[in-house]
Amino acid sequence: NAGVTQTPKFQVLKTGQSMTLQCAQDMNHEYMSWYRQDPGMGLRLIHYSVGAGITDQGEVPNGYNVSRSTTEDFPLRLLSAAPSQTSVYFCASKKGAARTDTQYFGPGTRLTVL
């Protein structure tokens, strides 16, 4: 199993550009989520999905869109990049929606917005 994979690993954008961060998992997990990591702030939840076709907002959803057309994939779209979106982005998945389920994290995408 590859686990949770993310592409690209690094990305530099100019203000106003759009892009999609890719996330895929091969563990047949129902629950997937996106976090951003900023220095001194831990990880904060952007969006999450409890299954194909179902998505919802997390703690910091503004400026981001998600969709979940398959169980495996959960892309994150930046609509119009802003410098405040410079961060490291992590995708995670877990078996189901149970609070006890372990979340597995991808290697992250380091995004810089100029």
Partner 1 sequence: AQSVTQLGSHVSVSEGALVLLRCNYSSSVPPYLFWYVQYPNQGLQLLLKYTTGATLVKGINGFEAEFKKSETSFHLTKPSAHMSDAAEYFCAVSADTGRRALTFGSGTRLQVQP
- Residues of this chain that interact with partner 1 (CB under 8 A) are 4, 31, 33, 35, 40-45, 48, 50, 56, 58, 90, 92, 97-100, 102-108
Closer CB to partner 1, 14 or 98, in the complex:
98
* Dist. CA 94–CA 114, nearest whole Å: 33
In whole angstroms, what is the distance from residue 71 CA to residue 81 CA? 27
Q: How far is CA 86 from CA 37, 70, 76, 89, in A?
A: 10, 28, 14, 9
Nearer to partner 1 by Cβ, of 1 and 102: the residue is 102
CB of 16 to partner 1, least distance (A): 28
8 Å CB contact between 17 and 100? no
Closer residue to partner 1 in complex, CB, 46/81: 46
The least CB distance from residue 5 to partner 1, in Å, is: 10
